[in-house]
Structure 1
Amino acid sequence: MKRSLPYIKAGFLLVLVVFLFGFAEKRHSARKINDVKVHFTDSENLYVPEEVVNKLLIQNDGATSGEGLEALDLNRVESLLNAHDMIENAEVYLTLDGQLAATVSQRKPIGRAIGNSSFYLDRQGKVMPLSAYYSARVPLLTGFNEKNVSEVYPLLNQVEKDDFLKKHITGIHRLPGGKMEVHVRGCDFDVYFGDSSRTVLKFNNFKAFYKKAQKDKKLNTYKKVNLQFGDQVVCTKK
C-alpha cells in the first residue's frame, strides 16, 4: 500500500490539473468581449477612420461586443478587415483581459488619377478607390485609366522614395502612345520623360539639371526639358 501511495498521489494530481485546466478554459470561453481597441501603424492620414474599423469588428457575426469568446472567429474577422478597400493588412487578436484588438496598416496612395475616372494608385502599384475621409496630397495623373495606370508606377515609386522629387513633382500626363510628361512645381517648362525605362537615371539627370539651372537662375529660360535619352538632358530655350 505504501509503495502504491506515490502513484495514487500522482494520479490524483493529474486528474486535478486536467479538471482545473478544463474549468479555466470553460470560464475563459464564457467571458465577454468588453472592449474593442484599434491601433493604426500610421495614424497621420486616416483613409479609413477608427470608427469604421470598430463598426466592422463589432457588427459582424461572432465579434459583437458582449458575446462570449468561444463565439469569436478571429480568422473571419481578420479576413473581413483585410477585404476593406482602404486596408493593406490587419491583424486581429484578443488580449488577456477580454479586449478585442486590431492592428491595421492602411493602403498608401502615391498618385491620383483624375479625368473620366478618379482613383489612387497605391505603393504596391494597385488601383485604390478615393477615400471619403481624407484626400492625399500626391502627384496628379492625367490621361490614365485603370488599364494603363501601371505604366506610371515606376515613376511614382521613385518619386515616393525621393524627398526632392516629392517636393517638386506635381503631376504626370500620359501622351498618346504611352509616353509621359512630368509637371514640375513652379516651372513653366514641360518635362518630356518618354516611357518608364531607365527611370532612376532620368530622374537623377533631371535633379542635376534643376539644381544647376536654379543656381544659375535660368529655370525660367526654358520651355521644354527632354529626358527621354536617359544619358543626357536636352533643353529648349524660350
Structure 2
Amino acid sequence: MKRSLGYIKAFVLVAIVCLLFGFAEKRHKTRNISKVEVKFTDSENLYVTEEVVNKLLIQNKLSISSIDKETLDLNRVESLLNKHQMIENAEVYLTIDGKLKAEVSQRKPIGRVVGNSSFYLDKNGDLMPLSEFYTARVPLMYGFDGANFTKAYALVNHIKNDEFLNRHITGINRLKGDKYTLELRERDFEVYFGDSSNVALKFNNFKAFYKKAQKEKKLDTYKKVNLQFGDQVVCTKK
C-alpha cells in the first residue's frame, strides 16, 4: 500500500511539472518579440543600412509589435532579406529573451561600370546596383554594358585581390574585340592589356616592370606599355 502511494505521488509530481513546463513554454511562444537587432558582418561599407532592413521587415508585416514567436516564420524572414539586391546572405534567429536578431552579409563590388547605365560588378561576377548610401572605391569600367561586363571578371577580380594593383589601377577601358587598356593613378602612360587571357602572368610582368622603372626613375619616360604578349613587356618611349 505504501509502495502504491509512493508511485501515485511520483506520478502526480511529474504531471504537475509537465503541466507547468507546458504552460511556461506556451506563454513563452506567444509572447511578442521585444526587439529587432541587425548586425552587419562587414560594417565599414554600408551599402544597405539597419534602417532599411527594419523597414523591409515592417513593410512585410513583420512588425515586432504585432507578431509573436508562435507565428514567426524565420525562413520567411531570411527569404525576404535575401531578396534585397544589396544583401548576399542573411541569417535570422530568436534569442531566449525575445529578441529577433539578423546577421547580414552585404554584396561586395569589385568594379563599377560607367556609361548609359551604371552598376557594379560584384565579387561573384554578377551585376549589382549602385547604393544610395555608399560609393565603393573600385576601378571604373568604361565601354561595358549588361551584355559584356562579365567577360572582364577575371581581370577585375585579380586587380581587386592584389594590393599593389588595387592601389595603382583606377580604370579599365573595353576596346573592340574585348581587348582592354588600363588607367593608372598619377601616371599618364597607356597600359595595353590585350584580351583577358594569362591575367596572372601579364600582371606579374607589369608589377616587375613598374617597380624596376620606378626605382630607376623612368616611369615618366614612357607613353605606352604593352602587356598583350604575356611573356614580356613592350614599352614605347615618349
Normalising TM by the smaller chain, what interval? over 0.9
Q: Which residue of 2 aligns with 1:177?
A: 177
- The answer to whether the Cα contact below 8 Å between 1:58 and 1:65 also exists between their aligned partners in 2 is no
Which deviates further from its counterpart, 13-22 or 99-108?
13-22
In structure 2, distance between residues paired with 1:75 and 1:86: 19
Q: Which residue of 1 aligns with 2:99?
A: 99
**Paired positions, count:** 238
Which deviates further from its counterpart, 155-164 or 52-61?
52-61
**1:41-190 → structure 2 map (5 Å cutoff):** 41-190=41-190
Map Cα deviations across residues 128-155 of structure 1 (whole Å, 9 max, x no partner): 0001111111100011111111111111
- For structure 2, the 5+ residue unaligned runs are none
Q: Which residue of 2 aligns with 1:28?
A: 28
Amino acid at match of 2:145: N
- The answer to whether the Cα contact below 8 Å between 2:32 and 2:64 also exists between their aligned partners in 1 is no
Q: Which residue of 1 aligns with 2:225?
A: 225
Amino acid at match of 1:114: V
Map Cα deviations across residues 33-81 of structure 1 (whole Å, 9 max, x no partner): 1211111111111111110011112332344434221121111111000
- The answer to whether the Cα contact below 8 Å between 2:36 and 2:64 also exists between their aligned partners in 1 is no
- The answer to whether the Cα contact below 8 Å between 1:39 and 1:102 also exists between their aligned partners in 2 is yes
Q: Which residue of 2 aligns with 1:237?
A: 237
> What TM-score do the two structures reach when normalised by structure 1?
0.95
In structure 1, distance between residues paired with 2:6 and 2:144: 80
Q: CA deviation at 1:219?
A: 0.8
Amino acid at match of 1:84: H
Amino acid at match of 1:90: A
Amino acid at match of 1:45: N
- For structure 1, the 5+ residue unaligned runs are none
In structure 1, distance between residues paired with 2:234 and 2:6: 93
Q: CA deviation at 1:18?
A: 2.6
In structure 1, distance between residues paired with 2:218 and 2:137: 28
- The answer to whether the Cα contact below 8 Å between 2:181 and 2:191 also exists between their aligned partners in 1 is yes
Aligned residue for 1:117, secondary structure, equals coil
Q: Which residue of 2 aligns with 1:17?
A: 17
> What TM-score do the two structures reach when normalised by structure 2?
0.95
In structure 1, distance between residues paired with 2:104 and 2:149: 27
Amino acid at match of 1:112: R
